Structure 1
Amino acid sequence: MKSAQPGIKIRNRANLTGWLFVIVAVVLIASFYFYPMIQALLLSFKSGKGMNLHYVGFDNYIRLFSDQTFRVALKNTFIYLIIQVPVMIVLAMFISVLLNDSKLKLKGFFRTAIFLPAVTSLVAYSVIFKYLFAGDGLVNQLLLKLHLIGTPIQWITDPFWAKITVIIAITWRWTGYNMIFYLSALQNIDHSIYEAAKIDGASSTRQFFGITMPLLKPIILFTSITSTIGTLQLFDEVVNITKGGPGNASMSISQYIYNLSFKYSADFGYAATVSYSIVIMIIILAFVQFKAAGDKNG
């Protein structure tokens, strides 16, 4: 028993050293992530103007169901989600398969060029898109010269086209980001699997749906969930390109939260309630996606 004591002390000392390294990260995460989340949750049960808040229970959550502006913002956000996320995932997967071809030349250049939008400033690229899609912008001028349209499209001021402009912008920015995940996953697939499929007479299409898609399933699930979260939190593009207009035709939930906090008469309690509606939607949609993907851990 005595000979075991030094070993136990060494292990305890090693565990203590490990916890000393971990505790810094734990404290920072708790301070800057979990504490604000708890405070926001408590704030969602209060109401009032500015900092003159009082406890109102679930009144703010009940108010959501009768809030017409929230309904419009919710509808717009889900339109962005339903259209943009599938299009972006399919595009990212398709481009990654093309760029994974060993016969393709200048692969490094194409990969960098497609990924670059993901590292550009959100505000800068949104402003550029606003000018590109203006009534007299480059996009309309190009379409007119190609005789694809007879009159300029009101990309920013028309309710329908304003949503399309936002969808184009976020697809342009985030497709390359998701492409990197698919590309890295494709490079980890053993080529002998494809060689065996070719010997068996499987076409490229059959190889894609029978081999590539199943092996990319974890990455598809990951990118779908992260893209869903990002779209539900959409803010910069809407604010800088369309300002939520015309009217509230392109407003997102995050922009509505900002308006409640800083643009309208400051109602931080109700703004916190709207923000927690995003949390609830993220949890539900992530659960649905896990179940749809057949993930046993979901």
Structure 2
Amino acid sequence: MTSTLLRPSRRPSANAGGRAGARSTAGRSRPGYWFVLPAVALFAIFFLYPLLSSLWQSFFSTTGGESTWVGGAQYLRLFHDPLVAKSLFNVGLILVIQVPLMVCTALGLAYLLNQSWLRFRTGFRAMHFLPAVTTLVAYSLVFRVMLATDGGAVNQLLAMVGMSPVDWLNSEAWSRVALIASITWRWTGYNMVIILAGLQGIPAELYEAARIDGAGRWAIFTKIVIPQLRPVILFSSITSTIGALQLFDENFILTGGGPNNATLTPVLYLYKVGFQQFDFGYASAIAWLLVAIIAVVSVVQFAIMKEKK
């Protein structure tokens, strides 16, 4: 009787409780995996598998419908292909000119449309954003008609002021100008809305404090607006750079990559190699070269625009 009373009672240990809680948590979280599974499956089928398949295909050469393993020969071929160099030069020229021009224009428009004294701001914002909702093919065809050498609207306007017509789409220099102008028209409003959202997120107290300290408009713009918009400008610059490197629709419809490959871009060259010459191995190598370039350029832009701590 005494030994029974003095026997220590058994209590559930902390480890046992922890194991039971872990099992309970795992059981509760298990249905979540079923909800995530469709998204993971779609990602694997439509993104991951094509990505890895293209990488695998870049090590093969297809001749007469038969694929042969060639290792890194396709990548070595890139360095000896003059059209690859020409396409990279063209897209680099677009990056140097068009991306800064578009981002600066979008910044100026956003700053102007954010002023409280401006009337009809909503209408002006919608007007500038409308090109962004226009389909790429539709606006490219419109620009092709407008920039036609004979009878184009732009040359007709030039004739009205006594200027000679310009061969916009058949001249190497002017075709690049036409391409840059069309891209800038299409995407400036899109970047303007992004920058405008960033402007509206700047606290009003910063403007008031700067005015109390005697800062003018230019000082407020350079010392407050630009530093506060650094992440937004970085985002616009990176997305615009990626878009320029992936340029295809505009130059395919406007010039077809000509004249004399003056508007040939890597994606357009990839299309011609893959779907006109049916050399899918080399086309995959061009695609992975483009991926590497986009990654490097994005990292460099991020390093340059990184906010100083």
User: TM-score when scaled to structure 2?
Assistant: 0.90
Deviation at 1:3? 6.4
Give, in whole Å, the separation in 2 of the partners of 1:78 and 1:61: 20
State the Cα RMSD in Å: 1.7
> Which residue in 2 is equivalent to 1:66?
80
> Which residue in 1 is equivalent to 2:7?
none
| Structure-2 change in CA distance of 1:35 and 1:56 (3 Å) | same
Give, in whole Å, the separation in 2 of the partners of 1:66 and 1:25: 41
Note if contact 1:225-1:289 (Cα within 8 Å) is conserved in structure 2: yes
Correspondence for 2:156 among 136, 141, 147: 141
Give, in whole Å, the separation in 2 of the partners of 1:105 and 1:155: 37
Q: Which runs of 5+ in 1 are unaligned?
A: none
Deviation at 1:18? 2.5
Correspondence for 1:86 among 100, 107, 125: 100
Q: C-alpha offsets along residues 102-129 of structure 1, whole Å, 9 cap, x if unaligned?
A: 2211111111111111111111100000
Correspondence for 2:290 among 273, 278, 281: 278
> Which residue in 2 is equivalent to 1:208?
221
2:28 is the counterpart of 1:14: yes
> Which residue in 1 is equivalent to 2:239?
226
Note if contact 1:162-1:242 (Cα within 8 Å) is conserved in structure 2: yes
Identity fraction in percent = 43
> Which residue in 2 is equivalent to 1:166?
179
> Which residue in 2 is equivalent to 1:41?
55
| Structure-2 change in CA distance of 1:63 and 1:4 (3 Å) | closer
Deviation at 1:15? 2.1
**3-state secondary structure, aligned to 1:224:** helix
| Structure-2 change in CA distance of 1:87 and 1:14 (3 Å) | farther
Give, in whole Å, the separation in 1 of the partners of 2:212 and 2:307: 32
Give, in whole Å, the separation in 2 of the partners of 1:295 and 1:269: 41
Deviation at 1:63? 0.7
Give, in whole Å, the separation in 1 of the partners of 2:232 and 2:34: 34
> Which residue in 2 is equivalent to 1:57?
71
- Tell me how many residue pairs correspond in the alignment: 293
Note if contact 2:230-2:307 (Cα within 8 Å) is conserved in structure 1: no
Q: Which runs of 5+ in 2 are unaligned?
A: 1-11
Give, in whole Å, the separation in 2 of the partners of 1:60 and 1:5: 55
> Which residue in 2 is equivalent to 1:95?
109
| Structure-2 change in CA distance of 1:185 and 1:21 (3 Å) | same
